[in-house]
Amino acid sequence: MTEGSVRIFDTTLRDGEQAPGAGLTAAEKLEVARQLVRLKVDVIEAGFPAASPGDFEAVQRIARETKGVAVAALARCRDGDPQRAVEAIRVAERPHLHVFIATSDIHLKHKLRIGRDEALKQAVEWVRYGRKALGSDAEIEFSAEDASRTDVDYLLDVYEAVVAAGASTVNIPDTVGYAIPAEFGLLVGRVVERVGRDATISVHCHNDLGLATANTLAAVQAGARQVEVTVNGLGERAGNASLEEVVMALRTRPTQFPDLGSGVQTEQITAASRLVSYLTGFAVQPNKAIVGGNAFAHESGIHQDGVIKNPLTYEIMTPQSVGLSGSQLTIGKLSGRRGLQGKLRELGHDLEGEALDGVYRQAIALADAKKEVTDADLLALVEARSSEVPASIALEGWSVTSSHGGNATGTVSLSIGGDVRAAESTGNGPVNALFSAVDKAIQPVLGWRPVLTEYEIKAVSAGEDAQGQVLVRCRRSSDEGTGALIVSGHGLSTNIIEASLEAYLVATNKLHGAEINGVDAAFVTRARTEDIP
């Protein structure tokens, strides 16, 4: 791993995953972690082990299975939390414990209901615990939640005390995205002055005022040497500082950040962005910096003319530098595995063996179904493999009739735990009729049916024969109320009805798996406690 002089701490799998509806299975988290390793971030914050057994398991698997990167786990300064976090990351090549407590008077008074002295005492106690439990080589990070709204003198005392107790990194979170760049830079400068000789200064900025990246960069200029960021800026509310924006700003403006690069392999940014967007179901807005669909598109004639004459006229970075290959693949029935492997590498995916064979078979089948297999088609195939779930409910067959102005009638045949069951139903359209037929087939067996809370469909590429990618979110009919488990499912096919059914059954299998294994064994972010930031 090439570590840059600014340490990139990725919290997509912890703060990012806390975005409502972004919950990932443990296997999906591992898939994202592998991509973060390819991206060469320095630290992966893998989760919050005390939040649920599922999160514990996901963090431990990531700690065990990812190499060449530090793995962090978050813990409150509360008996039980740090112990769980230590247990989960102990197996990592480079364990990184992250303990936090709120320090602003607003949080102390209304949330924790303790005084400043007590908060400082707990911070010191759990930092000391972490240092002792993990030893002198481990990274022990302390975060003062809501630091940007904390009395500065008190905040500095807290940081000084935790560094004396063994913290090697102190983090300054702008928890509610309240800070303004110049002001935040001054705060960071004061922390650097007070404890910067003995600890790495880190920042963690939220985007409530759209300033997360600006605040993060101001902090780097003021001496911060760790930045906490997420892919696509995913995160609670308006999200966190976006990894791709911060990293590309450091790279594109070296005179503003002398000797302050990151070790990130920026050519992996697009692949990371797509994977996170796909697995969480959070679309990237087209005009999002760096990774939006329009980030490198030039529409006006004047711009196009300039870019053709010299890209420097309107491009401050090249599309290739963030992993957009620009070239379009034409894969046909006669294309070989090698060619496909090379193309996938260009797109940021290094596939071999069975994984490569699987995508190859699907790509060749797709070349039969549509004229041209594009980069976007290939990426969609690779991503679909990343979210495969064990299927005890499988589709055997379906048919539907639907006509102008009338209802649709659909029939499905499903294998449920090995038994084949068929059902027919009507609906106001073909998808509705088939989903309702699935419900009829499974309700008598499982005792519940999936309830659709969201349905989205998009074409993977241009053209009438494009593949349709469907995203659904569902809960169980027996599981009502705000705490209900909501899962996502994806489907991909040139037949959008087939893609819809596939997505519905993936979600149904996830709900069924969660029921059999216990919610927490299969899924990650459920047991929210009121003070997870």
- Contact residues toward Zn ion (CB under 5 A) are 15, 533
Closest CA to 370 of 495, 250, 478, 253: 495
The phi-psi region of residue 280 (left if phi > 0; otherwise alpha if psi is between -120 and 50; otherwise beta) is alpha
User: Using CB distances below 5 to 8 A depending on partner kind, what does residue 143 bind out of Zn ion, ligand KIV, none?
Assistant: ligand KIV
Shortest distance, CB of residue 246 to ligand KIV, whole angstroms?
16
Cα distance between residue 504 and residue 501, in whole Å? 5
Residue 311, both tokens: 């890209």
User: Using CB distances below 5 to 8 A depending on partner kind, what does residue 374 bind out of ligand KIV, Zn ion, none?
Assistant: none
User: Using CB distances below 5 to 8 A depending on partner kind, what does residue 398 bind out of ligand KIV, Zn ion, none?
Assistant: none
By C-beta, is 175 or 266 nearer to ligand KIV?
A: 175
- The per-type count for the chain, helices as H runs and strands as E runs, is 17, 14
Say whether residue 15 binds ligand KIV (CB under 6 A): yes
Shortest distance, CB of residue 143 to Zn ion, whole angstroms?
9
By C-beta, is 12 or 493 nearer to Zn ion?
A: 12
**Alpha carbon of residue 51 to chain centroid:** 17
**467 neighbors 459 (Cβ within 8 angstroms):** yes
Say whether residue 10 binds ligand KIV (CB under 6 A): no
Question: Which H or E element spans position 31?
Answer: helix 26-39
User: Using CB distances below 5 to 8 A depending on partner kind, what does residue 36 bind out of ligand KIV, Zn ion, none?
Assistant: none
Strands 139-145 and 169-174: parallel
Shortest distance, CB of residue 230 to ligand KIV, whole angstroms?
10
Say whether residue 145 binds ligand KIV (CB under 6 A): yes
CB neighbours (10 Å) of residue 116?
Answer: 16
Say whether residue 239 binds ligand KIV (CB under 6 A): no
Shortest distance, CB of residue 182 to Zn ion, whole angstroms?
22
By C-beta, is 177 or 189 nearer to Zn ion?
A: 177
Cα distance between residue 111 and residue 107, in whole Å? 5
Using the contact rule CB under 6 A, the part of the chain among 128-136, 170-178, 354-362, 365-373 near ligand KIV is 170-178
User: Using CB distances below 5 to 8 A depending on partner kind, what does residue 47 bind out of Zn ion, ligand KIV, none?
Assistant: none
Residue 316 is classified by DSSP as S
Cα distance between residue 77 and residue 47, in whole Å? 16
User: Using CB distances below 5 to 8 A depending on partner kind, what does residue 432 bind out of Zn ion, ligand KIV, none?
Assistant: none
Q: Helix 152-164 vs helix 181-195: angle between axes, to the nearest 10 degrees?
A: 40
Say whether residue 45 binds ligand KIV (CB under 6 A): no
Say whether residue 143 binds ligand KIV (CB under 6 A): yes
Cα distance between residue 448 and residue 511, in whole Å? 10
List, as one string, the DSSP characters of 238-288.
T-B-BHHHHHHHHHH-TTTSTT------GGGHHHHHHHHHHHHT-PPPTT-
By C-beta, is 410 or 533 nearer to ligand KIV?
A: 533
Shortest distance, CB of residue 69 to ligand KIV, whole angstroms?
19
Tell me the residue number closest to Zn ion, measured at CB.
15
The CA angle 456-460-465, to the nearest 5 degrees, is: 110
Say whether residue 55 binds ligand KIV (CB under 6 A): no
Count of residues in contact with ligand KIV, rule CB under 6 A:
11
Shortest distance, CB of residue 74 to ligand KIV, whole angstroms?
6
Q: Pick out residues in 174-193 that bind ligand KIV (CB under 6 A).
A: 175
Q: Pick out residues in 74-113 that bind ligand KIV (CB under 6 A).
A: 74, 100
* Residues within the interface to ligand KIV (CB under 6 A): 15, 74, 100, 143, 145, 171, 173, 175, 204, 206, 533
